[in-house]
A and B are shown apart, each in its own frame.
Chain A
Amino acid sequence: MDLHESSEDQGFRAEVRRFVAAELPADIRAKVLGFLRVEREDYVRWQRILDARGWGAPGWPTSHGGCGWNAVQRNIFDEECFTAGAPRQMPFGLSMIGPVLMKYGSPQQQARFLPRIKTMEDWWCQGYSEPGAGSDLASLKTRAERVGSGADAHYVVTGQKTWTSFAQWANWMFALVRTSDDGKPQRGISLLLIPMDSAGISVRPIRTLDGGHDVNEVFLDAVRVPAANLVGLENDGWTIAKYLLGHERTAIAGLGMCKRLLRRLKEIARVQVRRGRPLIEDAGFRARVAAIEIEVLAHEWGLARLISLEQAGRGLGAEPSMLKIRGSEIQARLGELLMDCAGPYALPCLEEALTFGYDGPTAGGVELNALAGLYLDLRKVAIYGGTNEIQRGLIGKAIVGT
């Protein structure tokens, strides 16, 4: 057992920290750390800065232009980027469809799509959930009929996807569609790559509690998709989807986000005042901050342990589900504490002031203005990526064995 970060890893951490400090544009940093709206162009700009440094695809093997980093390095990279205020690298291309194409994609698909993921020339969105298929994803109903033959072979896709993050910015969607009704529902699902500018696609924004617009409904009305855009075999989409879920399972922990929120909480609690003293010196509030910091530490060490075990070849069972639950609960609690920092100024919420550069009036300042929205928004982490109840079910079944 060696419970200290190796000197190589320490050196790598310092290198990443220096790079992010020097290269992350100040306006992007201010948006991210101030919980302001981050635009499409911000994500793309940062991704291209990383890619120019050779760090565009941390999780990819070098054979596909990735960094070839191990899980420890990827975790360090993620943590340093997050705490320094970098926007997250969009996972839909890099962590989802990219690895799937590497394993199941045709050589043509790999050559066509992989390089454009790294540079974000393509913005991918994920067409999984449907109004009637959330946790029970296999009950999805969006239909794809195969018609034509030879060069004209194509699918006609009709149905509706929902909770599609950034569909309004995406030019591609990878979607699970039903290609057969035979056998178990899981058996008749296929994975298709669909251009978002196809005729028959319309995108309706869904406003979330914080007034933000990340998620959408996507309607598909007889959308024509070339058969060459099928990934893997027809009716084999469920296997592929499961592979995708099993990929980078420790990344689900959200440790970098937890650390960013914790750091901001302490900064804000040092500035806000109660009875003439910094809020952080208030005994009750300080105990709450201490308690959540202890939980973040447990999350950090739990993750480090799992990464170490995984690298040693131990299969991870239900442990990633625990990381998901803890990471989401910690983020939600930090959101609460951040809002609590604002006291009565949690109430006024001016949407315009969430745009970087806003210089009009606010009730309690731009910083406090963002905190209630953040609290509301962070409730989502326990819901997406498999609700915490689904995760608890997986853990329960694994350890009780019934």
Chain B
Amino acid sequence: MNFLYTEEQQMLADTVARFVQAEYGFEARRKRLEASRRQAPGYSDALWTQLAELGLFALNVPEAHGGIGAGPVETMIVMEALGRGLVLEPFLTTGVIAPRLIATHGSAAQKDRYLGAIATGGLRFALALLEPQSRFDLDEVATTADRADGGWALHGAKAVVLHGDSADRLIVSARTAAAPAGITLLLVDARAAGVTMTGFPTLDGQRAAEVRFDGVHVDDADVLGDVNQGLPLAEWAVDQGLAALAAESVGAMDKLTELTCEHLATRRQFGQAIGSFQALQHRAADMRIAVEQARALALMAAARVDSTDAKQRRAAASAAKAMAGRSGRFVGQQATQLHGGMGMTDELACGHYFKRLTAIDMTWGDSDHHVERYGELL
């Protein structure tokens, strides 16, 4: 095993770090966030284009389709750097999940149609798998797709579709036969007739949509994978997302721990830096340990999320996400406490990291959910 970056990997990390340094100063980010979070897209189209020009959306697109054909390790590197910068542009679904899902499970026509467009940043995807009653369970699908007009008619509701209101295409799970199997993934035009999209700001200033489908027509050509075989695909797709989110959270909590240590070293009370107090030093040490635990499992997830052994893949993704959630909550809470009153304000980066870490925990399964899922694999 070798945990050092290759030269290419280091260049990739530096590229994203430079982007963050240039565009994601705290005040600049805060100003943009204030202006953008109340309506779609909720982020900067110009910065999206910049990310595309840096080649990030090509990362997970195979070379045959104009991409770079990188893997989970490169994804981890990018996500960690985006996490350190609290970057708002939603790289994850369009840059990681959609290209990997389509490249591995899509038809030849779908690959031709979508992968090139993804690589240039020209098409945005959102994952519409959860439902109002499903909590985080991907097999709880009440949305139906029935045969109609030589294709499918889609009815139902999807919940908390991240960045749904800026997406061009939705990846939707629908019931096409009775439980427990009988779930199919469909690629749905977000602006098709019968799609109702209601966007909301999320706790960390991003966007999520509640989506209704009232008889939306979907062509057979837009079925992703095989009919009634969508559940394993949905799980696979979310597992890719979990590994990436774990890496993003490592970046965020690592940076937040640094900020907290800086605060402890500079904030003075009783005539000395508060970091000289043992009670606070030990708290900082526990934060550091929590970060390293999350980092260890983000690495494991990057190593195994590609595995053809579904059990190993699931275990790795859930372990990493469970730890990211637990460590993220711990680090966020401690950072807020150690920053004192300033930790409660919107005026310091601390709170923004806390909110992003909380949002990551509540995305696609919190810590409890993934501990339970891991337990089922014991």
Which of A's residues lie within 8 Å of B, judged by CB? 1-6, 9, 72, 266, 280, 283, 286-287, 289-291, 293-295, 297-302, 304-305, 308-309, 312, 318-319, 321-322, 325-326, 389, 391-393, 395-397, 399-402
B314 to chain A, nearest CB (A): 12
Quick one: which of B3, B4, B275 contacts A400, CB cutoff 8 A?
B275
Quick one: which of A3, A302, A308, A402 contacts B265, CB cutoff 8 A?
A402
**Is B20 close to A, CB under 8 A?**
no
Quick one: which of A9, A302, A401, A402 contacts B292, CB cutoff 8 A?
A302
Given contacts A294-B319, A396-B282, contact A1 B4 (CB under 8 A): yes
Given contacts A399-B261, A402-B265, contact A304 B1 (CB under 8 A): yes
**Is B197 close to A, CB under 8 A?**
no
Q: Is the CB of A266 within 8 A of B378?
A: yes
B296-353 at interface with A (beta carbon < 8 Å)? 296-297, 299-300, 302-303, 319, 322-323
Point out the residues of chain B lying under 8 angstroms from A391, CB to CB. Answer: 285
A397 and B73 CA atoms in complex are apart in Å by 32
**Can you report 25 A-B residue pairs in the complex whose CB atoms are below 8 A from each other?**
A1-B5, A1-B9, A2-B1, A3-B299, A3-B300, A9-B1, A266-B378, A283-B372, A287-B372, A290-B372, A293-B378, A294-B319, A298-B297, A298-B323, A301-B297, A302-B293, A304-B1, A305-B3, A312-B2, A326-B289, A391-B285, A395-B285, A399-B285, A400-B264, A402-B264
Given contacts A294-B319, A301-B297, A400-B261, contact A308 B292 (CB under 8 A): no
Q: Is the CB of A1 within 8 A of B3?
A: yes
Point out the residues of chain B lying under 8 angstroms from A287, CB to CB. Answer: 368, 371-372, 375
Q: Which residue of B lies closest to A397 (CB)?
A: B281
- As a 0/1 sequence over residues 242 to 268 of chain B, the CB contacts with chain A under 8 angstroms (1 = contact) are 000000000000000100010011000
Q: Which of B1, B273, B372 has the most CB of A within 10 A?
A: B1
Q: Is the CB of B296 within 8 A of A290?
A: no
Q: Which of A2, A287, A402 has the most CB of B within 10 A?
A: A402
**Is B212 close to A, CB under 8 A?**
no
**Is B286 close to A, CB under 8 A?**
yes
Point out the residues of chain A lying under 8 angstroms from B2, CB to CB. Answer: 1-2, 308, 312
Point out the residues of chain B lying under 8 angstroms from A321, CB to CB. Answer: 285
Q: Which residue of B lies closest to A300 (CB)?
A: B296
B201 to chain A, nearest CB (A): 32
Quick one: which of B3, B6, B295, B297 contacts A294, CB cutoff 8 A?
B297
A125 and B48 CA atoms in complex are apart in Å by 64
**Is B374 close to A, CB under 8 A?**
yes
Chain B residues bordering chain A, tally (CB within 8 A): 43
Q: Which of A294, A297, A319, A401 has the most CB of B within 10 A?
A: A294
Q: Is the CB of A326 within 8 A of B375?
A: no
Point out the residues of chain B lying under 8 angstroms from A389, CB to CB. Answer: 282
Point out the residues of chain A lying under 8 angstroms from B134, CB to CB. Answer: none
Point out the residues of chain A lying under 8 angstroms from B281, CB to CB. Answer: 392-393, 395-397, 400, 402
Q: Is the CB of B261 within 8 A of A312?
A: no
Q: Which residue of A lies closest to B76 (CB)?
A: A1
B251 to chain A, nearest CB (A): 16
Quick one: which of A318, A319, A393 contacts B278, CB cutoff 8 A?
A393
Q: Which of A5, A301, A304 has the most CB of B within 10 A?
A: A301
A266 and B323 CA atoms in complex are apart in Å by 21
B130 to chain A, nearest CB (A): 22
B324 to chain A, nearest CB (A): 11
Q: Is the CB of B378 within 8 A of A280?
A: yes
**Is B38 close to A, CB under 8 A?**
no
B162 to chain A, nearest CB (A): 25
A319 and B292 CA atoms in complex are apart in Å by 9
Q: Is the CB of B282 within 8 A of A4?
A: no
B300 to chain A, nearest CB (A): 5
**Is B276 close to A, CB under 8 A?**
yes
Point out the residues of chain A lying under 8 angstroms from B4, CB to CB. Answer: 1, 308-309, 312
**Is B30 close to A, CB under 8 A?**
no
Q: Which of A6, A280, A318, A401 has the most CB of B within 10 A?
A: A401
A325 and B280 CA atoms in complex are apart in Å by 17
Given contacts A326-B289, A402-B275, contact A294 B284 (CB under 8 A): no
Point out the residues of chain A lying under 8 angstroms from B282, CB to CB. Answer: 389, 392-393, 396
A291 and B294 CA atoms in complex are apart in Å by 13
